[in-house]
Structure 1
Amino acid sequence: MKDKVVVCAYHNVGYRCLEELLRQGADVRLVFSHEDSPTEEIWFKSVRDLAARHGIPCLTSSVNTPQNRELLAELAPDFLLSFYYRDMITTEVLALAGRGALNMHGSYLPRYRGRVPINWAVIKGETATGATLHYMVEKPDAGDIVDQQRVEIAFKDTALDVFNKVTDAAVTVLRRSWPQLVEGSAPRVPMDLSAGNYCGGRKPEDGRIDWNLSAVEIYNLVRGVTHPYPGAFTTLAGHRLLVWQAFPAEGTGEPGRVVSTQPLLVGTGNGLLELRRLQLDGAAELCAADFVAATPCRGELLA
């Protein structure tokens, strides 16, 4: 008899990992996902649609509700698997999985435990991250590691570029690990939390640019929160100005001061930042040349 599996999943990682489980013939009895937020750009695939195509019941109420705990207790799953599910799963729910509850995390643990690990890795200028399958415990992203796959972060990669690499890595990890989990031969490597770090979630307001930082640090912020995320921003003449694309350049200038318009260069705490794609609140996104033609800004101070 096959192991009974319950999957908590959302986003592309959730879609691709559920797809891989089904490809391997896993007996997925129930899926928990989320309603799409009306304030979020929905650029990723739908776990609910995938479950529906395979005739698998899918609930968008939290897996932690008393009713859903009762449902899981009756189902008595062997495995509970979490793939980019956004709710912290309680220990009471985790205990209902007879053979274990596991999570696929978007970093090379123990580095970047917590929320939005891919964005944080890009913002912090990391050159590598990864995907990690680990057992879930009460503390987030802290249980024994089953398998990991490292991916490189190129200097020009945006968070979306890295997210796509990590998604592929997550599927690779699951493809290797699922047969071992079923057989009972999967490794369990204790996580050394002292060797890692924990990061909290990010809000759109966290994208505000501090021009006293170096050009490279600001560039990392821009590429870490650019499309499809809310974007990095500054203020020009009292109006919010989104910076969707930029690149560091050599030179000096007062932090936040526009020192050139061809190309569009702004001073920082160390070096210059070339702004390449911009958008004033309520206006269209423009390349730098078109933006300068429409909005003369030489000598302006951005804040």
Structure 2
Amino acid sequence: MRVATLGYQTWGHRTLQALLQSDHEVVLAITHPKSDHVYEQMWADSVADLATEHGVPVHIATKPDENFKSALKQADPDIVVANNWRTWLPRDVFDSPRYGTLNIHDSLLPKYTGFSPLIWALINGEEEVGLTAHLMDEELDAGDIVLQRSTPVGPTDTVTDLFHRTVDMIGPITLDALELIASGRTDWTPQDRSQATFFHKRAPEDSLIDWTWPADAIERLVRAQSDPYPNAFTHYKGQRVRVLKAAVSEGNYGGTPGRVFIHEGDGMVIVAGPDARTGQNKGLKIQRVRLDDGTELAGTEFFPHGGGYLS
């Protein structure tokens, strides 16, 4: 098939790469301009550079304006494949090719529509994550499902681990979905929109630890903000402290959320949870931290004794 791509960062790069290595003819690559947003500077393999290296025409756009539509019309694709395209597309764009537009989204839809699905899924304790190849319609990430692939979330997995596992699935799911579409099948699976959840873009405030969360949720937040993502952080005695490694405490600890309490094994326990006053909650054991100057310390070294509060 003649394929045009809408893609950005490593997700779009992997999609284009798979198509270039297939029997499909890539007739156009549309991508966003480079951004200074922290989450868009990570995993920033260039779609434009890859397309140019392979002689594929490139169009840079932030939204589907008239120049965008003209480039797509001139390319005359049989299908558009989108991955990590960041702005809304109207029907006269996604429906214009013969087979419409196939979107690759990095969640198991209908859950985790929108942004940063792997991070939110890990924070929320999902047992698996994955990719969905679906046909695009006018509602964000809501079209009929062509194919889904999943991978389990292990008890120590970080979001970086999950990124690498799911990004390796992009090529296979893209090509397998295109094969199903080209076969003439149309019996796709409608999404149950009553199960849909929609998440916003992450900002620095989303990495600030809330000590009223249960300790297991905070521990997952730490794993969901592993390098190179902006780390989960808290404040102690006027300085920002990034938490690199943490675990749920073995014992139950009571008091006020955020209290720097007691050493347990290789870490300092911080009182946590919405009902910490009952003494029935686990605490969060901080095992490794990073300061703003880049210094990394063991939790027991940074907190040589209990006392004070994290905020």
- Provide TM-score, normalisation by structure 1: 0.91
Alpha-carbon distance between aligned partners in 2 of 1:86 and 1:290, rounded to the nearest angstrom: 42
Contact 1:10 1:84 (8 Å CA) reproduced: yes
Q: Who is 1:164 aligned against?
A: 164
Alpha-carbon distance between aligned partners in 1 of 2:153 and 2:186, rounded to the nearest angstrom: 28
Query: Aligned-pair distance for 1:211?
Result: 0.8
Contact 1:34 1:61 (8 Å CA) reproduced: yes
Alpha-carbon distance between aligned partners in 2 of 1:284 and 1:297, rounded to the nearest angstrom: 22
Give CA deviations for 1:109-146 in whole Å, capped at 9, x if unaligned. Answer: 11111111111100111111210100111110110110
Contact 1:112 1:198 (8 Å CA) reproduced: yes
Alpha-carbon distance between aligned partners in 2 of 1:131 and 1:268, rounded to the nearest angstrom: 33
User: Pick from 253, 266, 269: which aligns with 1:265?
Assistant: 269
Query: Aligned-pair distance for 1:44?
Result: 4.0
**Is the aligned partner of 1:300 residue 2:308?**
yes
**Is the aligned partner of 1:230 residue 2:240?**
no
**Is the aligned partner of 1:149 residue 2:149?**
yes
**Is the aligned partner of 1:28 residue 2:30?**
no
User: Pick from 270, 279, 284: which aligns with 2:290?
Assistant: 279
Q: Who is 1:67 aligned against?
A: 67
Aligned in 2, Cα 1:82/1:43: closer, same or farther, shift over 3 Å?
closer
Q: Who is 2:278 aligned against?
A: none
Give CA deviations for 1:25-57 in whole Å, capped at 9, x if unaligned. Answer: 211111112233234243442222221221112
Unaligned stretches of 5+ in structure 1? none
Local SS of the residue matching 1:229: coil
Q: Structure 2 matches for 1:14-163, cutoff 5 A? A: 14-40=12-38, 41-163=41-163
Alpha-carbon distance between aligned partners in 2 of 1:58 and 1:74, rounded to the nearest angstrom: 12
Identity among equivalent pairs (%): 34
Alpha-carbon distance between aligned partners in 1 of 2:187 and 2:205, rounded to the nearest angstrom: 41
- Greater CA drift, 233-242 or 117-126: 233-242
Aligned in 2, Cα 1:91/1:285: closer, same or farther, shift over 3 Å?
farther
* Superposed structure 1 runs of 4+ greater than 6 Å apart: none
**Is the aligned partner of 1:288 residue 2:298?**
yes
- Greater CA drift, 234-243 or 257-266: 257-266
Give CA deviations for 1:2-33 in whole Å, capped at 9, x if unaligned. Answer: x3211011222222221111211211111112
Local SS of the residue matching 1:213: coil
Alpha-carbon distance between aligned partners in 2 of 1:120 and 1:99, rounded to the nearest angstrom: 32
CA-atom RMSD in angstroms? 2.0
Alpha-carbon distance between aligned partners in 1 of 2:104 and 2:227, rounded to the nearest angstrom: 24
Contact 2:287 2:300 (8 Å CA) reproduced: no
Query: Aligned-pair distance for 1:87?
Result: 2.0
Q: Who is 1:11 aligned against?
A: 9
Alpha-carbon distance between aligned partners in 2 of 1:159 and 1:279, rounded to the nearest angstrom: 18
**One-letter amino acid matched to 2:31:** S
Local SS of the residue matching 1:250: strand
Contact 1:112 1:121 (8 Å CA) reproduced: yes
Query: Aligned-pair distance for 1:154?
Result: 0.9
Query: Aligned-pair distance for 1:186?
Result: 5.8
Alpha-carbon distance between aligned partners in 1 of 2:106 and 2:90, rounded to the nearest angstrom: 20
Alpha-carbon distance between aligned partners in 2 of 1:44 and 1:183, rounded to the nearest angstrom: 34
Unaligned stretches of 5+ in structure 2? 274-280
